[in-house]
Amino acid sequence: MTDVLERPAGKVWRGGRAPNVAVVGATGAVGVELIGCLETRGFPVANLKLLASERSAGKTLPFKGKDITVEALSPSSFDGVDIALFSAGGATSRKVAPEAAKAGTIVIDNSSAFRMRDDVPLVIPEINAGALKGHHNIIANPNCSAIVSITPLWPIHQKNRVKRMIVSTYQAASGAGAAAMAELEESTRAYLEGKAFEPKVLPHPYAFNLFSHNTAIDPATGYNDEETKVMGETRKIFGDAEMRINATCIRVPVLRAHAVSLTFECENPISPDEVREILKTAPGVKIVDDVANNYFPMPRDASGQGDILVGRIRRDLSDPSGRSISWFAAGDQLLKGAALNAVQIAELLL
């Protein structure tokens, strides 16, 4: 296990000062984590502006021992703002981010609005920090499932090219935001009390149930939008348009932290011991692979911390060539899958 990235102690913004920072969507699940990551990682902030919809304006959120009042997002919100961390949904990002970028603010966007644009870097700092060069003031944060799936895979890919991967995701309520997390809690309570519960946030009953990810399915391919994101974003981040990828994305009744089952095929034979040796020094990765006690990555252990946990590392016995490995991983969707990754990107800009 290593630190996810060196913290920015002593680093400053242009002109030798700390940057002015805005968080857009500050009252949402990811927004709250963005504020927390800025504080816990010691990100240098001259002034922090918290922005949200009009219905959230006037609320206060803590930062470094002070309560900061949330302001309504408006065209003038980014005056004097150097870096804006967006987590307010694709529609807001598409409308507001280009204007902020045009005014000189560097936008780090958590939505899918700009991820696949050729002129927008899609960045996981442990993998492709160099992609930030030449950005045009908009930088995209990848899909949470893609981050959890491929951050541990990258150091393998560097040593023994990954040609194919099959990933199944087990996605927590946190991926759909605070409202979905509340719905899981409320529906579980109703289920245990024998009461009827009508889902409002997600399309199916969530308590003691799981279902295909609730994004639209492409009738031409049969893949839902989440699966398409994982496949397309992986190819872009790895810089390998030829990588063969298959994804199945499922919602599971877990409050926080996504898990993934991953099988990958390398160019050359590879053993589980080689994989463990590579992952020992991989940034942002922790091996949890206790075979004797049947203890492997779990969402409850991944929640609230920044490492991606990897275990169940074993040969894929269906591949007699010895080129394929299977593992199971878990990572906090709100942290490394969203807020932490965005703040790490911001740190690279200092």
Catalytic annotation present for 135: no
Q: Torsions phi, psi of 177, nearest 5?
A: 95, 180
Alpha-carbon distance of 248 to 260, in angstroms, equals 10
Catalytic annotation present for 144: yes
Marked catalytic residue, from 135, 157, 213, 258: 258
Alpha-carbon distance of 192 to 207, in angstroms, equals 9
Marked catalytic residue, from 144, 157, 213, 249: 144
Element (H, E) at 147: helix 144-150
Six token digits for residue 50: 């918290």
Residue 229 contacts by C-beta under 8 Å, 6 or more apart in sequence? 112, 115, 143, 145, 146
In the chain, the N- to C-terminal Cα span, in Å, equals: 25
Question: What's the full length of the chain, in residues?
Answer: 350
Helix axes 340-349, 29-40, angle to 10 degrees: 50
**Residue 212 near residue 128, CB atoms below 8 Å:** no
Catalytic residues, by residue number, are: 144, 258
